[in-house]
């Protein structure tokens, strides 16, 4: 495998990174979050999947993608022939950003500063695992790893970014599927396109 030439300090083990991330104060998001939600999966994963940030349920559980978006991701991964338990699942930002709205904690988009404050953890995960395939889901993860110019809906699919992983797949975030207000057909088409993108990561497109 080729090692990604990401510019992080000396390579640290996943368990060391996870322990250190518990106390992260690189940005203010820790103040309103229950806990740091680090990535999870096998250290030898062939595939890393990156989302935006933990949601309400992930913040409480301390695990990524266990809420509604996570259930949809699990289903889509299975349909694409991928076994989630063999992948490393993580987020660009590791604390839940929210504001109160009545009884619920309303999700807020992380800022550019918060994304870059959290980037060392993501790069640390990449360096420790150096996966063959990196799946980048949604604008926040794309911004973190591919910069501001990339547009998920325009550039989705296989991306040339050999400095981060031999194969990089850019796709939509599964939460966006939950927000589609259109017809059942529109929703189904968007979901199918997501599964098609994930299939690129399985090495069995088609």
Q: Report the interface residues with ligand URA, using CB under 6 A.
A: 51-55, 58, 64-65, 67, 69-70, 91, 175
Q: Are 80 and 195 in contact (CB under 8 A)?
A: yes
Contact 169, 157 (CB under 8 A): yes
CB of 57 or CB of 116, closer to ligand URA:
57
Measured over the CA atoms of residue 27, residue 33, residue 34 and residue 38, the dihedral's sign is: negative
Select 36 or 91, whichever has its Cβ closest to ligand URA. 91
Instruction: Give me the least distance between CB of 11 and ligand URA, in Å please.
Output: 25
Min separation Cβ 156 and ligand URA, Å:
16
Locate the DSSP E strands across the chain.
Answer: 47-51, 88-91, 98-101, 104-107, 133-137, 157-159, 167-171
Question: Which residue of this chain has its Cβ atom nearest to ligand URA in the complex?
Answer: 51
Residue positions counted in the chain: 206
Shortest Å distance, C-beta 50 to ligand URA: 8
Q: Which is nearer to ligand URA, 70 or 120 (CB)?
A: 70
Strands, DSSP E only, in 52-145? 88-91, 98-101, 104-107, 133-137
Enumerate the β-bridge partners of residue 88: 48
- Quote the least distance from Cβ 17 to ligand URA, whole Å: 17
Q: What's the Rg (C-alpha) of the chain?
A: 16
Closest approach, Cβ 85 to ligand URA, in A, equals 16
Q: What's the closest the beta carbon of residue 167 comes to ligand URA, in angstroms? A: 21
Helix (H) / strand (E) containing 14: helix 14-21
Q: Which is nearer to ligand URA, 1 or 115 (CB)?
A: 115
Identity of the residue, 2 or 85, whose beta carbon is nearer to ligand URA in the bound complex: 85
Query: Is residue 3 a contact partner of residue 131, using CB atoms and an 8 Å limit?
Result: no
Give the nearer residue to ligand URA in terms of CB position, either 67 or 124.
Answer: 67
């Amino acid at each position: 495998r080729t090692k990604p030439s990401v510019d992080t300090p000396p390579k640290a083990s996943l368990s060391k990174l996870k322990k250190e991330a518990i106390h992260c104060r690189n940005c203010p998001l820790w103040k309103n979050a229950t806990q740091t939600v680090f990535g999870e999966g096998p250290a030898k994963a062939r595939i890393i999947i990156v989302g935006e940030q933990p949601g309400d349920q992930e913040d409480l559980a301390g695990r990524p993608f266990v809420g509604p978006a996570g259930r949809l991701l699990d289903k889509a991964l299975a349909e694409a022939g991928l076994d989630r338990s063999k992948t490393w699942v993580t987020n660009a930002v590791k604390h839940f950003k929210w504001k109160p709205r009545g009884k619920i904690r309303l999700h807020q988009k992380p800022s550019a500063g918060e994304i870059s404050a959290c980037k060392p953890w993501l790069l640390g995960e990449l360096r420790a695992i150096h996966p063959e395939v990196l799946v980048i889901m949604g604008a926040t993860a794309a911004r973190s790893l591919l910069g501001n110019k990339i547009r998920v809906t325009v550039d989705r699919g296989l991306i040339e970014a050999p400095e981060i992983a031999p194969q990089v797949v850019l796709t939509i975030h599964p939460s966006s599927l939950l927000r589609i207000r259109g017809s059942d057909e529109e929703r189904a088409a968007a979901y199918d396109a997501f599964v098609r993108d994930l299939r690129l990561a399985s090495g069995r497109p088609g």
